[in-house]
Amino acid sequence: MNDKKNIKTDKSAGADKPDKLIQKDYITIIAGPCAIESWEQFETIARVVKDCGLSYMRGGAYKPRTSPYSFQGLEYIVEIKKLYGLKMVTEVTDAETVEEVAKYVDVLQIGTRNMSNFALLKKVSKVANEMNKSVILKRGWSATIKEWLLAVEYLSLEGDTDVVLCERGIRTFEPSTRFTLDLSAVPVIKKLSRLPIIIDPSHAVGQSDLVIPMSRAAIAVGADGLIVEIHTDPEKALCDGQQALDTRQTKEMLHQVEYMAKFFGKKIR
C-alpha cells in the first residue's frame, strides 16, 4: 500500500464522532435474524434486542444467496426503527440499491461474497460519506488479511469512511465447523492498522451451541464487538436457523460477554 492510500489503515480519523459504530470503552453487540422473513418475526426479535439493552439490530433485507423475490424487508426496518429506536444494520448487495438502502439503515454491511466487488465498494464509499453511514466490511472467505485491508482502500476513496472490519471465518479443510474462525486476525489487524474489528461467530461456526464460547474468545483476543444471529424460533427460521441463538441463549451470551468485557474495563453497548 502506498503512502497516498494509507490514510484509513494508518490513522484513526474522527475517533470522537458520537455516531461511529465502535466507541471507546464499549463492546458493540449487533444482534438479529439472518433474514427479515415477516413483520411478526422481525418485530418479535426486535423486542428481544431492545429488552436485552442493545442499540444495534441486524436483519437481511437483500440476501445474495436467495431468490430476488425473497427477504425484501426495508419497509419493516423503517417501522422497527420508529417503534424501538434501534439502529439498523443490513447488507447491500449491488451498487444500484446502495442509495435506497442507505436511506433507511444506519450501517451498511458488505458481505463476504462482495468483499472484492470493487464497483460496489466505491459506490458504498460515496454514499457512506455523503449520508454519514458506518460500513461493516466482512472478510472474504478465502481472502488474506492483506487483501482485506486493500479492500478498505476502495471504501476510503471518497473520504474518511467509518469502516469496521468483520472476521466471519475462512474456508479451510476442516469440516467440523461451517468455516474456521480466524481469531488471530484480531491482533494482526490491530498490529497492522487502527481499524476496529468485530467478530461474526454465527457464520463462522454454523452451530448455535458453539456461538457462545467463540463469542467469549472473540472478546478475549481484543475484538471491538460481535454481530450475532438470533431468532425466537430458530427451528422455523427460513435462513441459517441452525446457527441462530434463541432468546435464552442470547441472554446467556450477553451475560458471559459482559463478564469478559469487564476484564478489559469495557461495557456492552
Domain boundary assignment for the chain: 26-268
Q: What's the Cα-to-Cα distance from 8 to each of 76, 125, 151, 183, 242, rounded to whole Å?
A: 34, 12, 11, 22, 36
Residue 154: predicted pLDDT = 96
Choose among 212, 211, 218: nearest CA to 182. 218
Residue 12: predicted pLDDT = 40
CATH class entry, domain 26-268:
alpha beta
Q: What does the alpha-carbon distance between residue 165 and residue 188 come to, in Å, rounded to a whole number? A: 12
Cβ partners under 8 Å of residue 112, min gap 6 = 138, 139, 140, 141, 168, 203
Secondary structure (3-state) at 171: coil
Residue 132's region, left for phi above 0, alpha for psi from -120 to 50, else beta, is left
Residue 61: predicted pLDDT = 80
Residue 133: predicted pLDDT = 96
Residue 16: predicted pLDDT = 45
Residue 19: predicted pLDDT = 76
Q: In which residue ranges of the chain is pLDDT below 50?
A: 1-16, 65-71
Q: What does the alpha-carbon distance between residue 32 and residue 53 come to, in Å, rounded to a whole number? A: 13
Could you tell me the pTM of the whole model?
Answer: 0.90
Strand-pair partners of 27: 268
Strand-pair partners of 31: 57, 228
Secondary structure (3-state) at 41: helix
Q: What does the alpha-carbon distance between residue 55 and residue 61 come to, in Å, rounded to a whole number? A: 19
- What count of other Cβ atoms lies within 10 Å of the Cβ of residue 42? 21
Residue 165: predicted pLDDT = 98
